[in-house]
């Protein structure tokens, strides 16, 4: 049970802070008490004792439950930060005691893994051989941070807006069409594409007013397998729009044209801001920020 000294000689027990957070979460002392195997009366007594030691009322009580007071709402982020700090200490201590650099779980798309992360991960493993890395290449990274399956996710900002996002690079989109459809041209206005069948990967994010629903025909392709999309274009099934990062090879039989106006996506990584960072994650983030991709 951890304690921390605060003003006027009072010591703050992190268990009591967890009790406060549980009460705030459930809005019910009896429900929160169950989480700690306390009786409701013992839970309420502990909470009142903590409020008395602070000299402020953290909760407003009523017949239907409890809710944070103005002081409670102001103190809440500090309580959360203290628990996160305690968890950080425990995680780092565990890694040190096990004489291991820890482990790091990464989730990303195949194109980013293949064209952006391979060299980065190779160099990181060389410099930090005691950290175990696992890379999950998936069709969609949505939810991987929220449900705890990944510690860090690499994708574009359009799917990572709810998390702490750090931009790495701009990736320009290009039109991809079967060879012969736009002979002699190096660029095309995306308005011209709407009259053609469109192979839609369902994973396009841009601030530009490019609307896949305006195409006369859409072939929905719910996968991040960019090579399959290029093959469909090569077979004359339609046009598509793909980021430069995936257009590195296997372009025989297709034409790649610059889009006008220019459309880009922002690539980067994200992690849960509220979650404690392990030593492995902290080292990896610091490493990424120190290299030029």
pLDDT at residue number 75: 93
Q: What is the pLDDT of residues 108-125, one digit of tens each?
A: 988 888 888 888 899 999
Give yes or no on whether 103-167+267-290 and 169-266 have one common fold: yes
pLDDT at residue number 11: 52
pLDDT at residue number 234: 92
Asked whether the predicted pLDDT for residue 1 surpasses 80, the reply is no
Highest-confidence segment of 53-62, 107-116, 201-210, 278-287? 53-62
Q: What is the pLDDT of residues 182-236, one digit of tens each?
A: 988 999 998 888 888 888 776 666 556 676 677 767 676 655 667 888 898 999 9
Asked whether the predicted pLDDT for residue 101 surpasses 70, the reply is no
% residues pLDDT > 90 (the chain):
29
Q: What is the pLDDT of residues 20-50, one digit of tens each?
A: 999 999 999 999 999 888 898 999 999 999 9
- 247, 173 contact by CB (below 8 A): no
CB contact set of 147 (below 8 Å; sequence gap of 6+): none
pLDDT at residue number 45: 92
Q: Report the C-alpha gap between 240 and 4 in whole angstroms.
A: 58
Mean pLDDT of the chain: 82
For the domain covering 169-266, report its CATH number: 3.40.190.10
pLDDT at residue number 197: 87
The model's pTM: 0.60
What are the extents of the domains in the chain?
A: 3-97, 103-167+267-290, 169-266
Asked whether the predicted pLDDT for residue 7 surpasses 50, the reply is no
| 103-167+267-290: in CATH 3.40.190.10 | yes
Average pLDDT over residues 267-274: 82
Highest-confidence segment of 14-28, 92-106, 133-147? 14-28
| 3-97: in CATH 1.10.10.10 | yes
Give the lowest-confidence range in 179-193, 252-266, 268-282: 268-282
pLDDT at residue number 28: 93
Q: What are phi and psi of 35, to 5 degrees?
A: -65, -25
CA distance from start to end of the chain: 44
pLDDT at residue number 140: 78
């Amino acid at each position: 049970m951890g304690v921390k000294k605060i003003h006027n000689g009072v010591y703050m027990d992190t268990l009591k802070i967890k009790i406060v957070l549980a009460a705030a979460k459930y809005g019910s002392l009896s429900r929160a008490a169950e989480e700690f195997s306390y009786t409701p009366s013992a839970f309420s007594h502990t909470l009142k004792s903590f409020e008395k030691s602070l000299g402020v009322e953290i909760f407003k009580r009523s017949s239907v439950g409890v809710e944070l007071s103005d002081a409670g709402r102001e103190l809440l982020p500090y309580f959360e930060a203290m628990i996160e700090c305690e968890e950080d200490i425990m995680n780092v201590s565990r890694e040190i005691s096990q004489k291991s650099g820890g482990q790091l779980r990464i989730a990303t798309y195949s194109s980013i893994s293949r064209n952006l992360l391979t060299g980065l991960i190779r160099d990181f493993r060389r410099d930090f051989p005691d950290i175990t890395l696992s890379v999950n290449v998936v069709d969609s990274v949505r939810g991987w941070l929220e449900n705890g399956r990944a510690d860090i996710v690499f994708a574009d900002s359009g799917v990572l807006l709810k998390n702490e996002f750090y931009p790495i690079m701009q990736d320009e989109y290009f039109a991809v069409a079967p060879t012969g459809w736009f002979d002699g041209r190096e660029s095309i206005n995306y308005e011209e594409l709407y009259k053609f069948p469109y192979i839609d990967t369902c994973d396009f994010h841009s601030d530009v007013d490019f609307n896949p629903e305006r195409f006369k025909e859409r072939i929905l392709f719910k996968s991040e397998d960019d090579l399959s999309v290029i093959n469909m274009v090569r077979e004359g099934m339609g046009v598509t729009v793909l980021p430069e990062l995936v257009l590195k090879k296997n372009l025989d039989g297709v034409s790649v044209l610059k889009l006008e106006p220019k459309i880009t996506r922002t690539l980067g990584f994200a992690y849960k801001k509220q979650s404690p960072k392990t030593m492995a994650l902290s080292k990896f983030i610091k490493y990424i920020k120190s290299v030029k991709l």
